[in-house]
Amino acid sequence: MDKELTKQNQLVDTFGRNITYLRLSVTDRCDLRCVYCMSENMQFVPRSQLLTLEELVRLGSNMVDCGISKIRLTGGEPLTRSNIMNVFEAYGQLKGLKELTLTTNGTLLDRYAQSLKDAGVDRINISLDSLKPERFHNITRVGDIQRTLNGIEAALKVGFRRIKINSVILKHRNHDEIHDLVRFVMQHDMDISFIEEMPLGYIDDHNRAEAYYSSDHILRELQEKLELLPSTETTGGPSRYYHINGSNSKIGFISPHSHNFCSHCNRIRVTAEGRLLLCLGQENSVDLRRVIRANPLDDQILKKIIVNSMQIKPEKHEFDLKVQPVILRHMNETGG
């Protein structure tokens, strides 16, 4: 990937925050059905409503022209999208894009890891909430843990700059595996982020308030057995990191409830339908699919609308576990 300096950033919101990071969902579909991500009987978007691969490439190029320097492809499960490698390869050639990353459940990495590395993907985040096969199956509803473990092994062999495990921790589901998950990443020279569940969309599997397990609780438990050193290091996202003394691995915490990270937000999201979300926990948005399709030959209009959208980026989200979710879209629709 070209490592030239990012083009002048035109994406500054009304709170003075520079927006440099795009999380782009390429599909709402997934081969797993994680209980915190979607309802059991999920209705997916008709494929005709998704941005085409060509539109995804065009959108990414224009975002970089406006000042985006990091793009993460997400889903659903992005690797289930047919011919998605065409998008990775096109993004890998974008001048001004400093970092191209991926969030995946790992089930298809044994097939795609080398191609992703060759395309210019720098880092990969892999979702793994349990190391116990039966529990993994229950959390994902349909998953076989061996497929994800095989994907992690394939990614390690390829040699990405860094691999991070993402674990959503739920009380009475997997909170007792915190130490096991940390040992696992230390053994494989990976990092891990523990995530507080995001209250997006209605789910019927559990009560989110009752399942809530705070980052502070996890940190205290880990400090009983590990020496953790606060780090100023960042990967451009919301994680607060700690170094594990005596290890190359880091532990991160994504804490939308206990440690609101909105004040330094540098992110925007685009759904697979082309809806530009200015905040994970608010509905302020712009229909970029309509703009793209109404102006197939005019990128200046698209860029102008992207830049102007910064005026409606809200200051913060309003997550509240004690009330029904205000945000009706599920996490798989939003982009993880």
Write out pLDDT tens, residues 135-147. 999 999 999 999 9
Helices assigned H by DSSP within the chain = 53-66, 85-91, 109-119, 133-140, 145-158, 178-187, 208-211, 215-223, 288-294, 299-308, 331-334
Please give the pLDDT value at position 308. 96
The pLDDT confidence band at residue 166, using thresholds 50, 70 and 90, is: very high
Please give the pLDDT value at position 6. 45
- Per-residue pLDDT of 196-242, as tens digits, reads 887 655 566 666 667 888 999 999 999 999 999 998 877 666 778 99
Token pair of 41 as six digits: 């009987």
Which of 87, 67, 147, 68 is closest to 111 using CA atoms?
147
- Per-residue pLDDT of 3-46, as tens digits, reads 444 456 799 999 999 999 999 999 999 999 988 888 777 788 89
270 neighbors 277 (Cβ within 8 angstroms):
yes
Name the residue with higher pLDDT: 122 or 233.
122
Exposed/middle/buried for residue 116 (C-beta within 10 Å: 0-12, 13-18, 19+) = buried
- Per-residue pLDDT of 236-279, as tens digits, reads 667 789 999 999 999 999 877 555 667 778 999 999 999 999 88
The pLDDT confidence band at residue 155, using thresholds 50, 70 and 90, is: very high
The whole-chain average pLDDT of the chain stands at 88
For residue 322, pLDDT beyond 70: no
221 neighbors 162 (Cβ within 8 angstroms):
no
Name the residue with higher pLDDT: 71 or 239.
71
For residue 314, pLDDT beyond 80: yes
Token pair of 97 as six digits: 């894009």
Name the residue with higher pLDDT: 168 or 235.
168
Which single residue is written with the structure tokens 């891990």? 192
Which single residue is written with the structure tokens 């790992």? 106
Which of 281, 263, 278, 276 is closest to 318 using CA atoms?
281
- Per-residue pLDDT of 38-68, as tens digits, reads 877 778 889 899 999 999 999 999 999 999 9
Q: Can you give the residue ranges of every domain in the chain? A: 21-334
β-partners of residue 126 are 104, 165
Number of residues written out for the chain:
336
User: What CATH number should be reported for the domain whose range is 21-334?
Assistant: 3.20.20.70
Please give the pLDDT value at position 2. 44
